[in-house]
Structure 1
């Protein structure tokens, strides 16, 4: 569900920023299994994905291999760390840069952001997805874990589903960081405002209604401020 919501929000920003039909140069840092990168390649864009996890790389390559030649030719997969963008790409190489779910896991998020800003072209769009530090108590509370909810107040870290400790981010600090790399905030959305542990199966009427409710809440105050995730978009004008 998160992917569908973020994809719709990203499409909205791309359509608002770039002429219809323009083939964009896109970079997906921490591409995972390649779902977002392939979606952009299917839309006609030239896409480079960077990933260091072996299992994710294998999944991305396998998914790309099933696509028609025209789409495969627009996909490039680079094995590497997102912090090493300066090694792989010259400044201003990409019109759209994605970094979804990566910042919580890096030791030096400011250095990673600086690298993303370096490869962003003039007029480019930067899309970040991070955990919302101002709503860390919501997840445990929705599961009925009241001790966990109380412990989450005032912290900037959380345990992901695998049990790993990760970092959460606050909107004001992220906004300041975007200004610091000359890609000031253009728009932000909440992702997963209402969704707790139970999510209806994809494709059903209940799932479509949930998507519609989440999409509406993710762009509406005060709901978006308590979303589990923040989708933050900066632009270099």
Structure 2
């Protein structure tokens, strides 16, 4: 996932350019801090008080130079127009957020307005075209049949959430003047692994296999997650 994002950034912007990054729904700030370490100016937005507290704690442990490149804002990603001026960012991230938003189109339109011309919108979403795979691979046949005709599912936290289909998001991105530039599959082979699964000794080989599958048809189309990159016209 990080390598895919880095690939798109490298393809869009001159080497060494300090980018203005907006990370909406940043969680504990893992991606925001990674980009700040690479020299970019990052603004993170997070609504959950526990998550933003964890992000602030992680940021406080960083060297001063990195702390100066990160701004944290507690707020709803749908209110970016309240906090920021249009066109103020080169990259906007929205990773693992859309599944919690019942009507994502207004959110996406607002994020696109935050992008400068040529800016990159990076989305990580649950793949609505592959919802039957997880229950199918775990032997839940009733759940498998039910998953074919819906974009609703229950996640590992026990929350009822929603998935997005590639065709629908492609149309949405075109409609908000940030058409799809590239897309990848994420967690093609490892979606059924439990959170407490030990890290394998051949981790690099596993990551290489996931990376290859994530950019190769037909494998990427059945990934648990989709990483979509749109470019502001």
| TM-score (norm. length: structure 2) | 0.96
Whether the aligned pair in 2 keeps the contact of 1:143 and 1:196 (CA below 8 Å) is no
Distance in structure 2 (CA, Å) of the matches to 1:157 and 1:223: 22
Whether the aligned pair in 1 keeps the contact of 2:102 and 2:162 (CA below 8 Å) is no
Which residue number corresponds to residue 45 of structure 1?
Answer: 40
Is 2:62 aligned against 1:67?
yes
1:209 to partner: Cα distance: 1.4
Whether the aligned pair in 2 keeps the contact of 1:26 and 1:46 (CA below 8 Å) is yes
Q: After TM superposition, list the pairs within 5 Å mapping 1:12-161 onto structure 2.
A: 12-161=7-156
Distance in structure 2 (CA, Å) of the matches to 1:198 and 1:189: 20
Which residue number corresponds to residue 3 of structure 1?
Answer: none
Q: Which runs of 4+ in 1 moved over 6 A?
A: none
Distance in structure 2 (CA, Å) of the matches to 1:9 and 1:196: 18
Is 2:202 aligned against 1:201?
no
Distance in structure 2 (CA, Å) of the matches to 1:233 and 1:133: 17
* 5+ residue gaps, structure 2: none
Distance in structure 2 (CA, Å) of the matches to 1:168 and 1:107: 10
Which residue number corresponds to residue 219 of structure 1?
Answer: 215
1:7-50 CA-to-partner distances (Å, cap 9, x unmatched) read: 11000000111000000000000000000000000000000000
* Matched pairs, number: 231
* 5+ residue gaps, structure 1: 1-5
Which residue number corresponds to residue 173 of structure 1?
Answer: 168
Whether the aligned pair in 1 keeps the contact of 2:5 and 2:122 (CA below 8 Å) is yes
1:206 to partner: Cα distance: 2.3
Is 2:4 aligned against 1:9?
yes
1:198 to partner: Cα distance: 2.9
Distance in structure 2 (CA, Å) of the matches to 1:198 and 1:180: 36
Is 2:200 aligned against 1:235?
no
Whether the aligned pair in 2 keeps the contact of 1:187 and 1:234 (CA below 8 Å) is yes
Distance in structure 2 (CA, Å) of the matches to 1:226 and 1:197: 13
Superposed CA RMSD in Å reads: 1.1
Distance in structure 2 (CA, Å) of the matches to 1:141 and 1:8: 29
Partner-residue secondary structure (3-state), 1:135:
coil
Whether the aligned pair in 2 keeps the contact of 1:186 and 1:233 (CA below 8 Å) is yes
Distance in structure 1 (CA, Å) of the matches to 2:226 and 2:192: 18
Partner-residue secondary structure (3-state), 1:62:
helix
Distance in structure 2 (CA, Å) of the matches to 1:134 and 1:140: 14
